[in-house]
Every structure is written in C-alpha cells, then in structure tokens.
Amino acid sequence: MEISAKDVNLLRQQTGAGMMDCKKALVEAGGDFDKAIELLRKKGQKIAANREGREAKEGCVFVKTTSDSTRVALVELNCETDFVARNDDFQNLGEALSELALNNNPGDIDAFKALAMADGRPVSEHLTEAMGKIGEKIDVSKFAILEGEKVVSYIHPGARVGVAVSFSGVNTAANFDLTGRDIAMQIAAMKPIGIDKEDVPADIIQKEIEIGMELARNEGKPENMLEKIAQGKLQKFYKENTLLHQDFVKDNTKTVSQYMKDNLGGNAKVLSFRRIAIGS
C-alpha cells in the first residue's frame, strides 16, 4: 500500500525513529500505526540483542534535586559514542531517569530498571526503545540517592563527572550554597575515598601499612622502625585520600575541615558523598 510522507513524519514524531525505518514499519504494518510502533520496538529489541556484547563507555551523569534541597539523585546513563551522548533523545531520557530515581529510591540497578516511567512502561523497555531509535547500546550503569539536612550537587563541564554531598548542621549557614558547591568540586577534583579516617576500609589500611613497611625496608631502614615509618606514611595517605584531611584546592593553606569550620561553623558535618564518573 502507499504510505504518505505525512504518515511517516507523524510516526517519526511519535517514536523518534528514522524516516526510512518508519516508512518500512508502516508498509509492513499495512498502515496500522499501533502495529508499526510495535514493529519499531521489536527492532529496538533486536538492536539491543545485537549490541549486548558492545561496551558503552561514553555517556553523561545526570542530577536531580528536590526543591527543598534535602534529597538528590545522580544517574549515569551510558552509550557507545560521545556524539550520541549529546543527542536530544539521550539527554531527555537521562533527565527523566534522574527524576524517576529521585522520586522512587530504587534499591539497586535491577529495581531501577523495573520502575515504571510516565507511560507505564518500565525503564528497561525505554532503554531498549532508545537503542532502536539511536542505534547504539544504551544502559544505566550507576545511580546514587543521598539525603540530608541539605544536599548539594555538582556536574563537571561535559557531564562526565557528577558529585552529590549531604550535610547536617548547616541550616543557619548564610553561605551554604557556595561552600557546599566548593566541597562538591573538591570531591570531583581530588577523588577522596572517604569522609574521614574511619571511613577507609580496614583492608586498604592494612595494604598501605604493608606497602609503607616494604618501602622502608627497601630503603635499608631498621626492622624495629618499619612499623613507625609505615604509620607515618599512612597519615600522608589519609591526608591525600580522605575529604576532611585533604588540602582545600582553592586555598591549600587550610584543610577541607578547616574551610568548612570557617564558613559553615563548628556544627557542620558531611554525612555522605558520592562521586560518579563515566566509565569508572
């Protein structure tokens, strides 16, 4: 049957699929729009199967925060190329997924993909459909949801790194927004593994002590001094890798802890943070 350009364009507007794909689907469906849409979805599923083994190492980090700044969600949406990461359909999907995560607090990735989006269909189906439209593997790899008295977020230019931080004891701080953003930028740049020393896993501490002792031994230091030397190196490790002990990047004459106290007062605390980077 003859398919008009108007019908093809209408189907394209409804689905986001390419013009030729829409025309083929309408011809195969005998002009039935619902059947054509189903055919296009099946094409998306086929593409998903074909690309299952492909690596989606590009993408963007999306963020959504509640209006009262007490809850924030970060979502990493991946694709195969940087070009697709800038695609409007990809960007719109990422925005919708970050809002969905914020509003539903899924327990893990599988639970996230099972959530129903605005049209009632699950995230997993929308990801498959996006593969059909865009022609690349599209997937959600990570997400995080933080809550606190106040939260802040930071997306680094290019949206390849996103940070969320939750605080307590800051409601009376007049300059919280600026200071909180500075802390988030610190995390983006310096990649701390924990807030304070107590947050560093025991196995990492033991590994650092062993490395410190071996380095000292190789330098010819006495055996009875190795533990003390290793402990000194461990303190340096804490300073470089725990947020509160790091030198503040905008003023290395003070630590992050000192910067917070100066700007937010002695009651301010970082409750949690999450740094999500594309491909890591």
Question: Is residue 95 exposed (0-12), middle (13-18) or buried (19+ Cβ within 10 Å)?
Answer: middle
> Which residues have C-beta within 8 Å of that of residue 178, sequence separation ≥ 6?
none
Question: Is residue 97 exposed (0-12), middle (13-18) or buried (19+ Cβ within 10 Å)?
Answer: buried
Tell me if residue 179 falls in helix, strand or coil: helix
What letters, b where the CB count within 10 A reaches 16 and e where it falls short, cover 66-78?
Answer: eeebebbbbbbbb
The pLDDT of residue 159 is 97
Q: Nearest Cα to 41, choosing from 128, 142, 137, 116?
A: 128
Give, in degrees to the nearest 5, the angle at Cα 40 between 87 and 101: 50
pLDDT at 16 over 80: no
Higher local confidence (pLDDT), 3 or 238: 238
At 44, give phi and psi (nearest 5°).
-60, -40
Q: In which band, very low, low, confident or very high, does the pLDDT at 17 lie, cut at 50, 70 and 90?
A: confident
pLDDT at 52 over 80: no
Higher local confidence (pLDDT), 48 or 170: 170
Mean pLDDT of the chain: 93
Q: In which band, very low, low, confident or very high, does the pLDDT at 166 lie, cut at 50, 70 and 90?
A: very high
Q: Which domains does the chain have, with CATH numbers?
A: 5-50 (1.10.8.10), 55-147 (3.30.479.20), 197-258 (1.10.286.20)
Distance CA 79, CA 95 (A): 15
Tell me if residue 170 falls in helix, strand or coil: coil
Distance CA 78, CA 157 (A): 17
pLDDT at 199 over 90: yes
Asked if 245 and 256 touch (Cβ cutoff 8 Å), the reply is yes
Element (DSSP H or E) covering residue 10: helix 5-15
